Structures are given as C-alpha cells and as structure tokens.
C-alpha cells in the first residue's frame, strides 16, 4: 500500500507540482473500501487537489456525506467529516453552514442519495443558495446496496431490480439543479481529472450553492452486469458520450440525449442565503422591530 502511495505521489510530482494527496487523506483509514476501478476515488482525488490548490484550511473544512459508496468518502478526508443519513447530507450541511458560516462546507453525495431519496433537499438547496459545494457522484446505480436501479440508470440497462432492462427515463441532474435555481452547475467525467479539478475549484470559490455532477463508473457491479468492459473502457466510453459545454450554448435536452455537456453549465450571481438572512434580520433590528 505504501508503494502504491509512493507511486501516486511521484506521478503527481510531474503534473501538479506540490499536490501530495497524503496531506489530505487519513492514511490510517487506508486501504479504502472502494472496488478496483471505481471512479469515486478519482473524484475524491480531484476534490482534494482543488482543495489543495485553493489553500483551504483543513481545520475549517467540513465534508458532509450521505449513505452509499459515495457517502463513505468523507471518512477518508483529513477534515471535519460527517457521514450522515441516506439522502440527507444537504439537510445536515444546511444547518452546519448556517450555524458556522466560517466553515467551507463540501457535500459528497451519490445519484440515489441526492436524486431519489434526497431529491427534495437537493432542489431546495439549489433554490436557497446557501454557501456550499455539492459534489454528486453519478455511477448510474445504487452501488452500496448491490446494484439496484437509480434515477440516472440509462435506458435498457440491467440492474438487480430491472432484470429485463430499465424502462424508466433518467434524470438530468444538472438540468434539475439549474432548473431549481442553482447559481453554479457543472459536470465532468473522471477521465478529465484536471478539468474536474478546475471545475471543483470554481465551484468551491463560487459564492452560494454550487452543484457538480461527476460521471463516475461502477465497474464491479454495474459494468459487469452490462458487459461494459474494464474500468478504463467504461471511463473512455463515458468521455466519448460527453462534449464540452463550451461547444454549444444551451442545456436544452430535458432527458439525457446521446451526448451530455460537460464543464460549467450554469453560473450566475444571486444573494447568498446566509448573508441575505443575516442582513435582513439586522435591518429589522435597526428599525427597532418589536
């Protein structure tokens, strides 16, 4: 394991001068529990890289996650980490961020966690615009519970609860977030780790709620069941199913088309919820409200 870490560190030395992931993960929690080939680890790496680039104080960093393979990631981050309940990390994070505006709050969630059981919290978090970043890992499946269908499972795919193939349409998480009023929305694939890091950097520095969908891959369960090949093959085919948003102007397809846009898909300014609340309360006190 130590050798592997060493290798990773030396690979980084070439690409990103001073980022050493060992400074951001809890080495005593290694080896991690993700399956070989799982994209979640790449996403976590990109997140930690962004955190490093931004020079965030780990003591002031709060990572809040839900339940799922994605939810397990918080335990690996050397920060204040909160592994909450299924679908609810955004609710916990809302309380935390409001109570402690001095913290950098980052939520890690899965497609089932945030689009199925936690869908209500996601749309209201987008609407409120409280300062936090939500990174959703979309692996098209419920990984943790053994491969059941999720709101993002592609049409026709086999899962343990769609033995004849999935007949439900998929959610476009980014379109949902943008529609619910999120002031920063972006998507990236794990293959483009540098682009993903850049996107996460922009998301974290955004004033308000930022939503980033990371196309992850579940090789062991979903890939195997659908003959999608090895992890590199899955990651490659994911990449070819995407095209950078910069090449087009609108997110106008309601359900997932053959290609999906990546990059920053929506960005605009709106009052940050916590600041707006505190300002309104202060104004009311000034008026001597009874």
Ligand X SMILES: Cc1ncc(C[n+]2csc(CCOP(=O)(O)OP(=O)(O)O)c2C)c(N)n1
3-state DSSP percent of the chain in helix, strand and coil, to 5: 45, 20, 35
Q: Determine if 146 is a binding residue for another protein (CB under 8 A).
A: no
Q: Determine if 98 is a binding residue for another protein (CB under 8 A).
A: yes
Q: How far is CA 182 from the centre of its chain?
A: 14
Q: Which does 145 bind (CB under 5 to 8 A by kind): another protein, ligand X, none?
A: ligand X
Distance CA 159, CA 280 (A): 49
Q: Determine if 133 is a binding residue for another protein (CB under 8 A).
A: no
Q: Report 101-130 residues binding another protein (CB under 8 A).
A: 102-103, 120-121, 124
The partner residues of 243 in beta bridges, in order of sequence, read 261
User: Judged by CB under 6 A, which stretch of 42-50, 64-72, 99-107, 240-248 contacts ligand X?
Assistant: 64-72
Task: Give whichever of 91 and 178 is closer to another protein, judged by the CB atom.
Answer: 91
Residue of 22, 82, 165, 243 that binds another protein (CB under 8 A): 82
From residue 23 to residue 62, the character string flagging contacts with another protein as x (rule: CB under 8 A) and all else as - is ---x--x----------------------------xxx-x
| Cα dihedral 266, 172, 67, 264 in deg (nearest 10) | -20
Diameter of the chain measured on Cα atoms: 68
Rounded to 5°, the CA angle 200-205-208 comes to 105
From residue 87 to residue 116, the character string flagging contacts with ligand X as x (rule: CB under 6 A) and all else as - is -----------------------xxxx---
Q: Which does 68 bind (CB under 5 to 8 A by kind): ligand X, another protein, none?
A: ligand X
Tokens of 40: 């979640």
Task: Give whichever of 129 and 150 is closer to ligand X, judged by the CB atom.
Answer: 150
Distance CA 139, CA 160 (A): 15
CB 167 within 8 A of CB 155: yes
Q: Determine if 151 is a binding residue for ligand X (CB under 6 A).
A: no
DSSP character string of 37-52: T-THHHHHHHHHHHHH
DSSP for residue 154: P
Smallest distance from ligand X to CB 285, Å = 40
Tokens of 272: 């940050």
Q: Determine if 209 is a binding residue for ligand X (CB under 6 A).
A: no
Classify the C-alpha dihedral 144-150-152-155 as positive or negative.
Answer: positive
Q: In 10 A of CB 1, how many CB atoms?
A: 9
Task: Give whichever of 147 and 208 is closer to ligand X, judged by the CB atom.
Answer: 147
Q: Which does 153 bind (CB under 5 to 8 A by kind): another protein, ligand X, none?
A: none
Q: Determine if 214 is a binding residue for ligand X (CB under 6 A).
A: no
Q: Which does 262 bind (CB under 5 to 8 A by kind): ligand X, another protein, none?
A: none
End-to-end CA distance of the chain: give it in Å, rounded: 63
CB 154 within 8 A of CB 100: no
Q: Which residues bind ligand X (CB under 6 A)?
A: 67-70, 86, 110-113, 137, 139, 141-145, 150
Q: Which residues bind another protein (CB under 8 A)?
A: 26, 29, 58-60, 62, 64, 74-75, 78-85, 88, 90-100, 102-103, 120-121, 124, 277, 281-282, 284-285
């Amino acid at each position: 394991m130590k050798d592997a870490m060493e290798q990773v560190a030396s690979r980084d030395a070439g690409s990103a001068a001073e980022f050493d992931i060992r400074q951001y993960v809890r080495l005593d929690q290694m080896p991690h529990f993700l399956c070989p080939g799982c994209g979640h680890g790449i996403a976590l790496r990109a997140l930690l890289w962004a955190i490093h680039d931004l020079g965030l104080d780990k003591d002031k960093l709060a990572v809040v996650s839900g339940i799922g393979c994605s939810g397990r990631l918080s335990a690996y981050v050397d920060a204040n980490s909160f592994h909450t309940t299924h679908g609810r990390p955004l609710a916990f994070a809302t309380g935390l961020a409001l109570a402690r505006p001095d913290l950098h709050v980052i939520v890690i969630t899965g497609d089932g966690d945030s689009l199925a059981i936690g869908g209500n919290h996601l749309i209201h978090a987008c609407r409120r615009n409280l300062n936090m970043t939500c990174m959703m890992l979309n692996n098209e499946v419920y990984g943790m519970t053994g491969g059941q269908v999720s709101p993002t499972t592609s049409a026709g795919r086999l899962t343990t609860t769609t033995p004849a193939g999935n007949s439900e349409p998929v959610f476009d998480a980014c379109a949902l977030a943008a529609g619910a009023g999120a002031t920063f929305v972006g998507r990236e694939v794990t293959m483009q780790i540098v682009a993903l890091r850049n996107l996460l950097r922009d998301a974290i520095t955004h004033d308000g709620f930022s939503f980033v969908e990371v196309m992850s891959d579940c090789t062991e369960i979903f890939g195997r069941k659908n003959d999608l090949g090895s992890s590199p093959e899955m990651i490659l085919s994911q990449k070819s199913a995407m095209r950078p948003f910069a090449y087009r102007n609108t997110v106008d397809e309601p359900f997932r088309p053959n290609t999906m846009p990546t990059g920053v898909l929506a960005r605009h300014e709106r009052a940050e919820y916590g600041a707006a609340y505190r300002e309104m309360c202060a104004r009311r006190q000034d008026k001597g409200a009874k």
